[in-house]
């Protein structure tokens, strides 16, 4: 199984998980044409996708999802809460197959087992996801205010981990963001600050991990090299295993 990203950050998030027979798009935070051209970079044609999974209703995760699903006839998997919050954005004449998922049940898409992981975030019913195929696992964890025991337990033996490193606490406090936005981002239902993400890394068994990819970095309130340094100090992993996903360039294929 392998992973790549079309880009990650507050201007749009989109990820691919693929095994021999299945290609999944996780979130579609770029517009329709932008998504198609970013998929091309990785040699993926839109009609090759087996499903789109949506984590929650925020624009940076769903922007092109419905027009894309309608045009290329790709089924969408999402929670009831996410579906409800997106309803206004789904054009009446769209013909999309929706699959409602719940947070207590894993499900299969061809040979890939998908486990939804409920996370604390200011959305109606947000999930992040873990994928298992042939005993290999990848998890994509972004958009959460703090780490939970359930998350730690689920990720215990993970082989490829995409993890939010949203902001540096001090950079956010010192930033020119209005106080209300600072409170939202740093709140219990906001985004992970660097040291909270490090806490998660230390709590799971990262010895067998193949790579760690930092995602959803704030352009203003974080720094790529700071994040690389923190992960490297916390895990003693070689530099090649530590990745940062770029908003524009995304990240190229990573295998587990």
Other C-beta atoms within 10 Å of 236: how many? 8
**Nearest approach, Cβ of residue 141 and Zn ion (Å):** 12
Distance CA 23, CA 97 (A): 17
Min CB(134)–Zn ion separation in Å: 30
Taking the complex as a whole, the smallest distance from the CB of residue 226 to Zn ion amounts, in Å, to: 20
Cβ-based nearer residue to Zn ion, 60 or 125? 60
Q: How far is the CB of 254 from Zn ion (least distance, A)?
A: 21
Select from 50-58, 89-97, 111-119, 224-232 the region that touches Zn ion (CB under 5 A). 50-58
- Using the CB atoms, write b or e for 95-115: b if 16+ within 10 Å: ebeeeebeeeeeeebeebebb
Provide, rounded to whole angstroms, the least separation between the CB of residue 135 and Zn ion. 30
- Based on CB atoms, which residue is closest to Zn ion, 85 or 256? 85
Q: Among 54-62, 146-154, 205-213, 223-231, which window interacts with Zn ion (CB under 5 A)?
A: 54-62
Nearer to Zn ion, 11 or 115 (CB): 11
Per CB under 5 A, contacts with Zn ion among 127-186 are 143
- 58 contacts Zn ion (rule: CB under 5 A): yes
CA distance 22 to 190: 32
Is there a contact between 64 and 89 (Cβ–Cβ < 8 Å)? no
CB atoms within 10 A of CB 232: 15
CA distances from 249 to 9, 12, 52, 72, 182 (A): 11, 12, 21, 24, 27
Number of residues that bind Zn ion (CB under 5 A): 3
Interface with Zn ion by CB under 5 A: which residues?
A: 58, 60, 143
């Amino acid at each position: 199984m392998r992973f790549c990203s079309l880009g990650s950050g507050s201007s749009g998030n989109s990820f691919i998980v693929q095994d021999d027979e299945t290609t999944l798009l996780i979130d579609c935070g770029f517009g329709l044409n932008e998504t198609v051209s970013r998929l091309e970079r990785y040699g993926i044609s839109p009609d090759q996708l087996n499903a789109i999974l949506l984590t929650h209703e925020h624009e940076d995760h769903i922007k092109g999802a419905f027009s894309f699903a309608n045009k290329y006839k790709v089924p969408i998997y999402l929670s009831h809460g996410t579906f409800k919050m997106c309803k206004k954005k789904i054009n009446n004449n769209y013909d999309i197959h929706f699959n409602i998922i719940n947070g207590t049940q894993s499900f299969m898409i061809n040979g890939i087992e998908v486990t939804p992981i409920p996370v604390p975030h200011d959305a109606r019913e947000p999930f992040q996801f873990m994928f298992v195929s042939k005993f290999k696992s990848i998890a994509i964890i972004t958009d959460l205010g703090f780490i939970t025991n359930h998350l730690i337990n689920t990720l215990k033996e993970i082989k490829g981990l995409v993890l939010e490193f949203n902001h540096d606490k001090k950079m956010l406090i010192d930033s020119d963001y209005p106080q209300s936005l600072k409170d939202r981002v740093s709140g219990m239902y906001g985004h992970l600050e660097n040291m909270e993400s490090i806490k998660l890394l230390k709590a799971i068994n990262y010895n067998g991990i193949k790579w760690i990819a930092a995602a959803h970095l704030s352009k203003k309130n974080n720094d790529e090299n700071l994040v690389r340094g923190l992960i490297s100090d916390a895990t003693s992993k070689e530099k090649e295993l530590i990745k940062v996903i770029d908003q524009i360039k995304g990240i190229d294929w990573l295998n587990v």
